[in-house]
Structure 1
Amino acid sequence: MFRRTIRASAAVAVVVLLLPFAAACGSQAQAGASSDASSVTLSVGATGWKTEEAVLRFAHLDDTPYDVKWSVFQGGDQQLQAIRAGALDLASSSEIPPVFAAADGHPNFKVVAVQRGATLNQEVVAAKGSKITDIAGLRGKRVGYVQNTTAHYFLYELLKQAGLKWSDIDATPLLPGDGLAALNGGGIDAFASYGTSIITAHQQGAVTIGSGKDILSGNFLWSARDSVLGSPAQRAAAADLIARITKAYAYVNDGRRNEFAQIVAKATHQPLAQAEKDLRDAQSQRPTEARTVGDDTIASQQKVADAFAELGALKEKVDVGSFWSRKLNTELEKAL
């Protein structure tokens, strides 16, 4: 049975709110000396809305033999901050947040699995009525972006493709909600973001001027606290949960997309027809499914980390292989 904990606020506030859970997570690590899953509670992060929890319930796969506490964040970067604070056991993110979370050389987590997913709704948008029609038109403009996320990365790559440098724009880091408000209020000329914030931006009349669809790898990472990997029971629970999400999406894709789209539409406050189209397009582009850690997945993140070093967002190059682990591979293969 799931225990549901919802938090949605700025990064620091989220971590502060969740810190009381850290002690509970630590006690679970001790209990994990037993392989009994019933002794486990996993604190798991989600971005945007309760997508993973919702799809598990829809597929009748939410009756886990362990407890799950879901916490919602505005971005994967906040989830990694919560892991660093000891407030989450599992974090889901793009390839980028773990790079910055590990940049100090003392991460308390490992990337343990990859979830393949769509790269749609990863866009640079201009406000309704804007004269900006493409990335080249951003020279000298005020551009908001969600720092240390996919939006940061694909904005940088799109600028390079258009023959522009990062210094050619007035770049402003903003959280998704703040970026939308700034775009609509005229505080910025364009906004690079993802997910529900892009869906909402389009509902408010924003137009796409650049997309990260073909820039991003489609690799979304599961990061686990080191204490999880040290506990047989927590490790087994983590593998089982990740596998269940893959099975849940397989259930959705087996002729039930329109049914699940009704849940998505209600949660994201968008028209049902749009939710159906977005879900169909996303699952057609790249069905959501987990895979184990491999050399290619590590190399993919290394490419991203090198781009941030080139951009100057990292003080020095980061060896991403130092915070990946194959310790979950065997359990995940069995669970899948």
Structure 2
Amino acid sequence: MDDLPYDITWSTFTSGPPQIEALNAGQIDFPVTGNTPPFVGGLTKTKVVSAYSNEAKGDAILIPQDSDISSVQDLKGKSVAVARGSSAHGHLVLQLERAGVNVSDVDINFLQPSDSKSAFESGQVDAWAVWDPYTAIAEVSGAVPLITAEGVSNGYGFGVASDAALADDPRAEAINDLLEGIERAYQWTNDTPEKWEKIFAQETGTPANPARPNGDRFPK
């Protein structure tokens, strides 16, 4: 995305739902989110313009190494941290329904990933539903996946653009450039994982190994 004939303003968000809120409010033109936010966030005057697929290996419900939880059924009466309206929230609900556990029987703490991480590591919650790269970073620190979304949730991601941006030729062209850049970037990530993990670690201040692609597990 270097040497472009236009400027890009990058905005950082903690999860998909705040992105959708900003999109609806006209504060951004284009986000990429997980599979749940575009459908529960009340999209208005927007269109899904791209889709990304993986096997959901990086979407997981995490527990501490010494936890007495051994199945999703064991989450009944326990506390779980998750970002409201995120793909992890959708995954958690699907797993509970599949296990025959009422959502109301679980103490769900709606926290963004950074707060969830702190609550999980300090023992304030019993489990944490989250996605990569948070999953991989937590595993490096000793967290254990109770269950992943494979075979339960589709793991899709979606790029969403506002109608106003799509109707404006310069912005629409910029979005198209970005979509092509994302495609090239994912391919480059898979082709050169050693270079990717170093860049990811440098940009995020995290260890390199959580960024290491494992099959289709790359940060999203």
Q: Which has the higher contact order (CA 8 A, sep 6+)?
A: 2
Alpha-carbon distance between aligned partners in 2 of 1:100 and 1:67, rounded to the nearest angstrom: 31
Question: Shift in Å at residue 273 of structure 1?
Answer: 4.1
Find the partner of 2:90 among 149, 153, 172: 153
Percent of aligned pairs sharing the same letter: 29
In structure 2, the residue corresponding to 1:69 is in which secondary structure? coil
Find the partner of 2:121 among 184, 193, 200: 184
Amino acid at match of 1:86: G
Alpha-carbon distance between aligned partners in 2 of 1:80 and 1:224, rounded to the nearest angstrom: 10
Matches within 5 A, 1:165-314: 165-254=102-191, 256-276=192-212, 279-282=213-216
Amino acid at match of 2:89: H
RMSD of aligned residue pairs (Cα, Å): 2.2
Alignment match, 2:36: 96
Alpha-carbon distance between aligned partners in 1 of 2:151 and 2:170, rounded to the nearest angstrom: 39
Alignment match, 2:5: 65
**Residues 1:233 and 1:84: Cα distance change in structure 2 (over 3 Å):** same
| Unaligned residue ranges in structure 2 (runs of 5+) | none
Give the number of the structure whose residues are more often helix, by fraction: 1
Alpha-carbon distance between aligned partners in 1 of 2:146 and 2:119, rounded to the nearest angstrom: 17
Alpha-carbon distance between aligned partners in 1 of 2:125 and 2:185, rounded to the nearest angstrom: 39
4+ aligned runs moved over 6 Å, structure 1: none
Task: State the structure with more CA Rg.
Answer: 1
Cα deviation per residue 1:164-217 (whole Å; 9 max; x = unaligned)? Answer: 121221222111111111112222111111123323322332111111133232
Count matched residues.
Answer: 219
**Residues 1:188 and 1:248: Cα distance change in structure 2 (over 3 Å):** closer
Amino acid at match of 1:262: K
TM-score normalised by L of structure 2: 0.89
